[in-house]
Structures are given as C-alpha cells and as structure tokens.
Structure 1
Amino acid sequence: MPLSPHEVELFEQSRARLAAIAYRLLGSASDAEDAVQDTFLRWQAADRERVETPEAWLTKVLTNLCRNQLTSARARHESYVGTWLPEPVLAGDRMLGPVDTAEQRESVSMAVLTLMERLSANERAVYVLREAFAYSHSEIAEILDITESNCQQVYRRAKQHVATHRARTEVDGTTARKIVEEFLAAATSGDTQRLVKLLTDDAMNAGDGGGKAPARATPIIGALAVARFLRGLFKPTDAARDRVGGSLALYTEVVNGGPAVVVMIGDRVLAVMSLEVTSEGIAAIRTQANPDKLVRATRQWSASEHGEPFLDGW
C-alpha cells in the first residue's frame, strides 16, 4: 500500500534520529544512510495500520538491520587492508545526532567508536541506545527481543569495557583548535622533542588507508616512536607533493566532537587526523585517509564556511 503523506511525515520526523543511531552502531556514515533507507523500504512494505507506535517500530527495524550488518562487517574488517578506523564526521553534520550531554558527545567520539568495534552487536546496540539516546532497559529489551535483566547485564559489560579502555578529556571547540594548533606547530617544526612533550608516554598512532591510500599496516606505540613518525610525515618534500598530487592545506577543526587536523588538497579532504586528548597529553592520533570514507566529509566541507588554514601550500 502506498504511503500516505502523514506516513511519509512520520518517517521523516524520525530520519535524523535513525541516522544518528545507525552511525554510532556502524561507525560509517555511508552505511548508516543505507540502513536508514532500508528501514524506509520496510516501513513502506509494512502493514502500518497494525503499528501502534511508529517511532518504536522504526527504531527496532533499524537497530536489527544494523545488528545484522555488524555481524557481516566484523568478517569484512578481519580481511580489511591495514587498520580499520571509523568514518569521520565534521562538526555540524546531523549524523552526529544529539550532543547535549557528555555521554552523547562521548558516544560519537572517534575513541569510543573505535573501542565499540570490540563489542558484540548486542553490547554495541544496548550501549548506544542507553548512553546516547536514553532508552530505558525495558524499551531496549523490547527492541532486541531480550529480557530486561539480560539487557541490564549486557549494558554493564559494555559500559565497563568502554570505561576501562578510554581516558578521554572533553574539550570545547575553542580549546580543541588551540590543541590542534599547538600540535601542528610542533609536528611541522622538525623538533622531535617538542612533539614528544605533547604526547603521553604510551601514545598511539594509527592510520586507515583501506589499501587505497598510504598508511602503516599496524599502529605505532610510544611517544618517541610516534613523534619520529610524525616528524617524517609532516616534512614537506617534492616527492611527497608528487605522491599526493599537489600542495596541501592544513586546517584545525572539530571532528566527532574532538580536536582534529583536516588535510585538504584543492577542494577534496585528503585525510582527517583526530586527536584523543587526556589530562596527561595527546594519547592517540587516528588518521582516516581511505578516500571511500572521506566522501561525505568532502561534501560537508564544501557546503560550510571555514577560517584560514593553519598552513597553506605545504
């Protein structure tokens, strides 16, 4: 039966929330959009007269689509070329969803999205719905077809795992840009020790090229090792410019709620380098360079205003 204007409106009212849930569950904006579209198709095919609460029905369908996708995604990630990292989303993108509370902002951070890759599909779903969207355990249990007590146990496990492995300090946009500027100044100075001072002793650097852009296959651990790698990475040479196809512009930005470097070549986002900041210093640097995961960021960048780059013609 064709959708009535009212039924279309019901779905559209939920679209942004559904996309934000799917992004947190999948770590991919493009996959999240696909999951939302699949949910719409199921809404279109459903016996809608029997749906008592459309919002709950849509959330259940979307969540279960994402759970199924997470199972297949885990197998894909095992055969992924190099390190898998989430798709970055720039500030202002509706894909980020609600960011009113610390829990909501943290649930979409690159650090937590990366950590959630270690959770089971059920753990990830329970964590996201509870932490970021404040669903009750009874509501989540209904969505996942589990008991409420089981839901509470799954939530405790997921939250403990995430809390054990993260050490993130929340920063506002102004502070984030200052951190990135200090980081870029050190990284482009050629002074390794200056950069070491900004990093924690066990700092980690990881890059995702997806086999389509240069990136180390395994993470680098330790402040000195990371600093030496970054010193080489940020050293401008003719060979480097030839490799990427021209000169670069480096911007200080907020990505997934945290400080980041956006690397531009012309009007295309070449890479996004997200910094995980703690009270002891920069604990992790995650660089997304896979062009497939930067299409949305490029589109979003072109549609928004930006200040002057920290470095241009680099």
Structure 2
Amino acid sequence: MDEHDVLAERFEANRTHLRAVAYRMLGSHTEADDAVQEAWIRLSRSDTDGVENLGGWLTTVVGRVCLDMLRSRKTRREESLESRVVEPVADPEDGVDPEQQAVRADAVGLALLVVLETLAPAERLAFVLHDLFAVSFDEIAPIVGKTPAAARQLASRARRRVQGADPAPETEPARQREIVRAFLAAARGGDFAALLEVLDPDVVVRADSGAVALGSTSVTRGAFDVATYFNGRAAAAKVALIDGVFGATWAPGGKPKVVLRFTIVAGRISAIDLVGEKATIGELDLTVLDD
C-alpha cells in the first residue's frame, strides 16, 4: 500500500465524524458531503507528516470549509428545512465511531437545525464545534479569526439563541445545592435509578481536553448513558461553589483537578461541563465546601 492509499484509509476512518460535523454546520447532506470532499482534496495536497492528531486536523479543516460555505450563501435555499426529511448522519454500515465524538444520528432534530439557520456563521461554528463535538476554544479561535475568549462568547450567544432565550437555569441556591448533592450521592452509591431521576432525558456531558486527558469521555449524551458513566463514580468529588453557582470538584489533596459545572433546568441536570484544563480552573472563583 503506497502513501496515498494509507492517507485515504485514514481519511475514511474519519469520514463519519466529519460528515456529522459538516451536516450540523450546514443542515444539508449534499453540502455536507461537498465539504467532506473538499477536506479530502485539501488533505491530499497537504504535508501532514507532522500532524499527530489527524482527526482533529480534519475537523478543523471541515470547520473552515463549512464556515466559508455559510459566509458565501447569498440567498436562502429554495427547499426549506421544514419540507426536508432529516436523515441520520451516519450510515448503518459505517458502524460506531470508535472515539464516540460524532453526535448520534438522532441528537440534532429539525427544530435545532431551524434555529442553527438563524445564527451568524461564526456563532454557528463555535456552537457546533464546542457544544456538540467538544472542540476547545483554543482550536476554534484561529478558524473564526478571534481570540479564545471571543470564540467562547460566540458560542455563548449561539447557545442562548438555541435555547430560545437567555438561559433559565435553576437560580435558587438551596435548590442548586440539593440537586448537586443528590447527584453526587447517587453516583457514589451506585444508585442508577436515583441518577436517572435527577438527570434530564437529553442531558449532555462535555469534557475539555484537560478532563479527557484524565480519562473522561469527550461527549456523553442522554440520561441512560450519562447515568451509566457516573454510576459508582465521583467518590472523591465534593460540592463546590463555582463562580457563585453550586457545582462539584474532584480535588485530591485539596487541589482541584476536575471541576463539574452543572446546568440545572426544571429541577433536573441538563448539562455537565467537566473542566480539567489548569488555566481554566485557575480563572474560576472556586470554593470547595465541607458538605
């Protein structure tokens, strides 16, 4: 097998993931396939000898291609999203993405695609890459030509639009604390039913690169999978105040290694962000509580 064939084989191993990214960026299977094909063309013309993470490199390339495509759109498509059947991103024969980075076929419904269509291209890219595929803002920043902090703001604005309005998480401190404590107790005790009770059916867990390096999965979705992931874990985690909001942290020896930031809506946990990057943790107003 020559070098070109090896490169093609590695690209095919990432195709399902790349199609998932492109579809969520563009809302069209045809355009997604065009974006993935353009990524292959750019890959075949590039020197990738020094690329350690080809999947990450390709994700960045697809992101750039999709951003260019979104920015070049002059008019709305003749066929509306409402009249299009939303097909699954992954073909059955593709199997399961071994890195579990591609969001499952049913994770993005028509309603979300319609909302994504209203976002500015840079906002859409920041939201899709970070919130759906756990790409760090450090990696997103050069794609949109902004600083990581500015890229974070793009994703934040997009997230508010996707949620329909400004986020409306649980604001009562006592209720926040009660739900976080219930989650940790269920996780420590291996109480699967109790975990399901406190989790929103569509809960998502996102881990940054620091948390992934410590063994976390980059993205986990759905109450069953999230409960399975945490069941019997979090023995050393403690309740903490994080920027004035109740969350948790794993702090062996009193030094925070991973911070768990919870989004609680209607009495259930709808999102958990696992923060393990030292620089990010250092910027948090973090108080570990003796709970």
TM-score, length-normalised on structure 1? Answer: 0.45
Structure with more relative contact order (C-alpha pairs < 8 Å, separation 6 or more): 1
